[in-house]
Amino acid sequence: MANRPELMAIGDSIYNGTRSLTTNGELARISAPAQVANAFNWPFAVPTYPTDVLLNIETIIRNNEFNLDQIVAGVIANAEGWMGPTPWSTLDQFDNISIAQSTIADQWTLKFSDQYPAIGTLTNKLINRNALGLDDGTVIDTIMALYTAVNVSFLLNPGRDPNGPWATMTPLDIVKARKPKRLLVNLGINDGVWTICLQAVKDQFNALQIRDDMNKLGGYLLAMKKAGDIDQIYLNLLPKPSCIANLMPRTDPPKPPGASGYYDEYLGRLGQIGGLTGQDMADLDAQILALNNQMQSNLSALFAGTGGINFVDLYAMVAERDDKHFRDQKPIWAGGERINNYPLEVPHKGGFFGLDNLHPTTVGYAVLAQTVCEQISSVEQIPASKFDFNDAFSKDSLLQHVPLLLSIDNLLASLLVSFFAIFNRPGTSV
């Protein structure tokens, strides 16, 4: 694939286009980076997934198939397909190499050559799980490790050539080799922020570690900028945790919070797990805001001699559309419905987030893409097409057919906990 693309993206599931713990070709085409490229009419090679990455949670929910043995059988069949002889893609590289579950440090560690051999090893572990005496938790952890192995292998080396140039390259190596004019970056959420949002806990968040890893990432990006490998970098800051749909009181609030602006309690709605007081939630929001300010200050100082680093304020983006706290300043209407940050239910509630209450829908991704476009337009003085949220709504297969029964089994909560349990993932150097 030719070098110097107009746009590339690195990051985690939020830039991978994941929705409801599902990653596939449909969602890759409506990911935020793809929507940004479309708004500026730039060519953009989206990942051409031949099938789902292991499993499709939305299908599982629609079919009410919350049985681990059924899920494992489907995962094994899917993984075996990824190991078959058929080429994954006719493209040898994609412009979006954002990887679900990835951390900041993964950008200089993950490689096809390390992850591809793990596909067979992990699949065999699932096949022989009974003989190995694996408990359900270990099985779920194995599924999520396999999810990473498949997704990394496909995104970084879609030609699946073990002797090709991409086989031993990390995401940052690939960016350096391809020299994009612009690089979109969304990272840091898997370094402890989603643990807050999923499990409603506060003791696994390490702001200093995120700051240090982001500084290290900044050093790599600065070297590329000085070498002329990148012209402009657009880095997303971290979102405000309390605005994420999964952090909710035990039941949906009928009235605004009190003078503090926070409800008395917050649980992880999916599975009703964890527990934070209103003061805990306010403190965590303040910590994330302080971390954002520190990262912006540090990286701005680092790039002071070269320029090229720009920040996209996701904290403000979600805060301005915080309807569950009755603070929605920029309401979004689509498909005749007011889209908001409540957990998705029928009829007419939610819409920014999918069934996991964590990953955005197409409309949520459109809001993110619009925010990124506004920053690009401001920095480079180039216009972007206006976003049509009705169009985004009409293209979202989940919002068009929200399951009537959203009684989410604890199995899905367990899958999500493993999905975000990146600190225990082999090879993670956070």
**pLDDT by residue (tens digit) across 62-106?**
877 678 888 899 999 999 999 987 889 999 999 999 999 999 999
pLDDT score for 426: 43
How far is Cα 351 from Cα 372, in angstroms, rounded to an integer?
Answer: 20
pLDDT at 119 over 60: yes
The radius of gyration of the chain from alpha carbons, rounded to an integer in Å, stands at: 20
Backbone angles phi, psi at 369, to 5 degrees: -60, -40
The residue behind tokens 């929200």 is: 402
Q: Name the nearest CA neighbour of 255 among 200, 325, 199, 188.
A: 325
The pLDDT of 228-237, averaged and rounded, is 98
With beta carbons less than 8 A apart as the criterion, state whether 115 and 99 touch. Answer: no
Dihedral of alpha carbons 104, 20, 419, 417, sign: positive
Q: Please, what is the average pLDDT of the chain?
A: 91
Residue 416: C-alpha distances to residues 294, 355, 358, 362, 395 (Å):
29, 11, 10, 20, 25
* DSSP one-letter code for 329: S
The residue behind tokens 């693309």 is: 5
Residue 332: C-alpha distances to residues 130, 188, 230, 324, 390 (Å):
49, 27, 34, 14, 10
How far is Cα 81 from Cα 28, in angstroms, rounded to an integer?
Answer: 19
State percent of the chain over pLDDT 90: 77
Structure tokens given for 75: 């995962």
What does the longest C-alpha to C-alpha distance in the chain come to?
62
Q: Which of 178-187, 266-275, 329-338, 346-355 has the highest average model confidence (pLDDT)?
A: 178-187
How far is Cα 63 from Cα 48, in angstroms, rounded to an integer?
Answer: 26
How far is Cα 250 from Cα 265, in angstroms, rounded to an integer?
Answer: 8
pLDDT score for 423: 41
pLDDT score for 428: 34
**What does the angle CA 386 – CA 392 – CA 396 come to, to the nearest 5 degrees?**
170
* DSSP one-letter code for 91: -
Look up residue 260 and give its amino acid: S
DSSP state string for 221-239: HHHHHHHTS-SEEEEEPPP
Q: Name the nearest CA neighbour of 157 among 145, 144, 171, 147.
A: 171
pLDDT at 8 over 70: yes
**What does the angle CA 46 – CA 52 – CA 58 come to, to the nearest 5 degrees?**
115
The pLDDT of 102-130, averaged and rounded, is 96
Domain ranges in the chain?
8-424
For 403: left if phi > 0, alpha if psi spans -120 to 50, otherwise beta; the answer is beta
**Burial group, residue 381, by CB count within 10 angstroms (0-12, 13-18, 19+):** exposed
Give start and end residues of each alpha helix (H) in 164-276.
171-178, 193-199, 207-227
Expressed in percent and rounded to 5, the helix, strand and coil fractions of the chain are 45, 10, 40
pLDDT score for 409: 55
**What does the angle CA 84 – CA 88 – CA 92 come to, to the nearest 5 degrees?**
140
**pLDDT by residue (tens digit) across 363-419?**
999 999 999 999 999 999 999 999 999 999 999 999 998 876 555 556 666 777 767
pLDDT score for 429: 31
How far is Cα 430 from Cα 422, in angstroms, rounded to an integer?
Answer: 9
Cis geometry, peptide bond prior to residue 347 (ω within 30 degrees of 0)? yes
How far is Cα 149 from Cα 111, in angstroms, rounded to an integer?
Answer: 9
pLDDT score for 406: 53
